[in-house]
Amino acid sequence: MASATRSRDTPLAVLVLPSLLIFVSFAVVPLFGVIALSFTKWDGIGAILPNGLGSWQQVLADPQTWASLWLTIITMTVTWAIQTPLSILLGTFLAGHQRYRGLLGVFYFLPLLLSSAAIAIAFKSLFDPNFGLGAGLHIPLLSQDWLGVQLAFPVVLSVIAWQFIPFHTLLYQGGVRQIPVQLYEASQIDGANRFQQFFHITLPQLKYTIITSSTLMLVGSLTYFDLVFVMTAGGPGNATRILPLDMYIRGFRANQMGAASVIAVFLVVLGLGIALGVQRLGGRDKTASQLEGL
């Protein structure tokens, strides 16, 4: 009996090996690599020198680190606060089966087709203070210095919203479509109007979707790099220097790989923390997934 089970185990365990090998090599080992590198000093072209807590002290003492962390926290909260309600509303809207809504849906999902680089470039042109849409239309209100110091950050957050609301709308659309109609019919008999139905039926039923979407949103906005890099490269000044950009700038522009690795460790810890935290809040199992900046 025992030998029969064991002989069934060995071949099955072998099946996991290719996946495990490549995952360990290129995901787990770099993870430890990041931790190890954070205790070194390396300029990218010379030797890697052990540095004890030197890089840690440098990064923790640098006000930019905290400024970047603060920007990242704002990114996460504002992203969630804007994208979630809008996505829920749009998802609910699209879950209805009227023909025209289906047609609108085809267009709503177009932003999903564009890569982050494409979106960043398109909006960068659109917002150019001298050659963009506002300047070309000669409308003063639209000719602000959109990517200047004051407005760059809100503008970037808005573009991120433009990019990702369609995705979350899709999730919520699926979620709403799974709500049994009997609930609505029963409430109608009780005399409920549309708003009451929304708040007392739709939202509670969407709990699981909200948790999934929120996890994706929060972890995704923590690590978001592509669009911000192409649009503003962290600038002007440090106006859009969120943590992933801070990591890139420290490592590949200021040539301080040790310091960049410290920031990377922050990202990992925060990411893990958020993923675990939200899942625990929701009390559900592990279907959290990593959206690597679609």
Q: Which of residues 173-212 bind other proteins (CB under 8 A)?
A: 174-175, 177-178, 180-182, 184-185, 188, 193-194, 197, 209, 212
- Chosen residue from 73, 74, 82, 133 binding other proteins by CB under 8 A: 133
Distances (CA, A) of 51 to 37, 56, 116, 246, 257: 9, 9, 36, 20, 12
- Chosen residue from 69, 74, 84, 238 binding other proteins by CB under 8 A: 238
What residues from 81 to 120 belong to the interface with other proteins (CB under 8 A)?
Answer: 89-90, 93, 96-98, 101, 104, 106-118
Nearer to other proteins, 78 or 192 (CB): 192
Task: Tell me the pairing of strands 40-41 and 49-50.
Answer: antiparallel
- Chosen residue from 167, 210, 214, 218 binding other proteins by CB under 8 A: 167
Q: Is 24 in the site for other proteins (CB under 8 A)?
A: yes
Q: Is 153 in the site for other proteins (CB under 8 A)?
A: no
Query: Per CB under 8 A, which region of 34-42, 49-57, 71-79 contacts other proteins?
Result: 34-42
Q: How far apart are CA 91 and CA 108, in angstroms?
A: 11
- Chosen residue from 66, 70, 131, 199 binding other proteins by CB under 8 A: 131
Partners of 50 in the beta sheet? 40
Nearer to other proteins, 60 or 149 (CB): 149
| 135-171 exposure pattern, b = at least 16 Cβ within 10 A, e = fewer | eeeeeeeebeebbeeeebbebbbebbbebbbbbbbbb
What residues from 48 to 87 belong to the interface with other proteins (CB under 8 A)?
Answer: none
Q: How far apart are CA 262 and CA 36, in angstroms?
A: 9
Q: Is 2 in the site for other proteins (CB under 8 A)?
A: no
Q: Is 20 in the site for other proteins (CB under 8 A)?
A: yes
Short-list 107, 66, 121, CA closest to 238 = 66
